Structure 1
Amino acid sequence: MKLFLSVGHARLKNGAATSADGTRFGGVNEYEYNKNLLVPLVNHLIGGGHEVDAILCPEGVFTTSKEEREYKLPLANAKPYDLILELHLNAVDNPHVHGFEVLYKTEKGKRYARPVADCLSALFTPRGEQGLVKRDDLYMLNETKAPAILLETFFCTNIKDCFIGKNTDQVAACIAAGLNRAAGLSATQNSMESGGNMDKEEFIQYVGSIAEKDWKERKICIPSLVIAQAMKESGFGTSELAIKAKALFGIKKNGWKGKTYVKDAIEQNPDGSYRVDKNTEWRAYDSWEQSILDHNDYIARRKIGNQARPNWEKVIGCKDYKQAVENLQSAQYPYATDRAYGESLIKDYILPYGLDRFDKMDTSTEGYMVRIGPFVCLAEAETFAGHFLNAHVIKGE
């Protein structure tokens, strides 16, 4: 990817930094920390094959923070970057608040933000929606041509976060790993969604990764069912709806407030005959990921007529794909008018492609030992261990 990397804030002519300062809580200065993070992050990104333009506002030149904006935006918009990334740290007056946030505005920005958040969660506690926070009040998110994300990597006012963040090479490697993953997903998705060449397993892996993650987080639709439906309804991402409307599922408008795509619908009548419903409005999306997540929302929330509860509530959380398929079609209003739809999902997709492999969540409770120290004073060691979950002090020799 072509990346524009910026250190948030600046050091003004009077010597003051425009950033937050957590040193009064035993933490770090936001600007100084990110300035030190910049070099290892650039090195990791270049090592991952990315093209990187990194900037730091000239120190001792600006008199107000407004000049940062005037300096950065023309540079960020000067080239066709794939992603704009700016480094920040969070801060509050409460030193116990901790964790990270990846800020984004657009769905495309969220597509890059998600894998970065996944990787950062190995070091810090995610805040918001698995570490993702949508914002529409920041100029680096609003006024750049390329999609942008802002990293609030941790709280500079929290001693635990700052201790972990002290290893800037580790933090840089974590961020770079997320961007490497984002680059891989973006390249695959861009190729797929534009009708590019792909094999079936690539499609399965892409849809499966999103379906599996959503299953772990929200427990709505078992992944094998979601993947099978996407395969069947979109022809492995080659259908008109998949390419032109970014829709992997044939979900009609049905109260949808977003954009729509118009095409005829072929439906099966109760007597087994078929009909064509002209100029049907279908839900349209900005990405396949949005389509997958909305499909699951649709299953979880859709009420038809005077129903008091969701039509497919028996699908929600069902851990057996055979039962989930049965519940999908045996609801008061079946998901598909095609009588053979449910049987086809299992016989033509789930079984021959082994889609149930995505249903097998890791239930391991094995823990890991992280060794920090040594501390000369036992009281100091016990105090520091208190900042961590399930941590205890082991006396050394």
Structure 2
Amino acid sequence: MTIGVNCGHTLHGAGSGAEGLFREAEHTRLVGQALVDLLKEAGIYVADCTIDKADTCQEYLAKVVSFANREDLDWFISIHFNASASHKGKGVEIYTYKGKQYPQAKAICEEMAKLGFENRGVKEGSGLYVIRKTRAKAMLVEVCFCDNQQDVDTYYKIGAARAVSQIIFNSICGQCRQGENEKSPGRVQEKSKEQTTFMEFVGAIARKDWKERRIMLPSVVTAQAIKESAWGTSELACKANALFGIKENGWKGRIYIKEAIEQKPDGSYYKVDDTRWRAYDNWEQSILDHNNYIATRSTDGGRSLRYGAVIGCCDPELVCWYLQRCGYATSITYAESLMKDYVVKYDLTVYDKP
């Protein structure tokens, strides 16, 4: 499955969206990026259809559609927040081509209604450029009214972007992972054949390198590879053989250029265009270079190692925490996600055993 995600509107200027009790453009990105994370964790390829800057609204819309139509998408999902002149409008609604009542779109509205939002239903959206012009099945989700105090209070009360993204994910993918995890938080997740093959490939190389060089615990290396490459399906994994998304940082080998999505301490996201990433001849090279990077990375001219606490540590939870503390990733939930969503869920400590 391939899904295109558009975090609605530009960040500033033309096409920047509604200004209510919060800025629409900021929260479309919070919801959209959380949705992207869920999709990638499920092994689904995601096409980024978000445009941060354009000179005109028409240019913005044309770019979104161009990004969507260059991929063979199963779904195009555009995230928005509503607003009304009276500030009295409230509720969730979804626009589709000719108002088609897709079960997935209806499910989103119904699940949002269960959490306290008014269900305004699935509506005729053929007049909307991104709905009319995209080739794939498309829906434009108006999460709630960002200028209505009741809606905004409900949005924050239910868990804001994370809760909304989970509802969209569950409705699109036809599964309720959140409910399953709550019922059995410690169970080992079942894996597809492709996921098992990928996990065993990375785990075997990581275990061999751990035995030989004792740099980084195999369970965490494998967890990082799964998380950062979406089980080997990410753009970097497919086009640059890069499973870990390590930036250039003194690398003398091949380079792959694409944008980076970073997270600020306040939880908001921003995009860095034309980021230079390390590229490899194969995945094994990527895994070994990742460990070399951990073993040698210094930001003070070699006087100390940035990831010194990680090297040789035999406790996966500590390794995850050290990685975040030492600044390996900008995500504020990186350590927690590595441990809970990967090491524990997929029983990756099996690769740490002699």
TM range (shorter): 0.3 to 0.5
Structure number with larger C-alpha Rg:
1
Q: TM-score, normalised by structure 2?
A: 0.45
Q: TM-score, normalised by structure 1?
A: 0.40
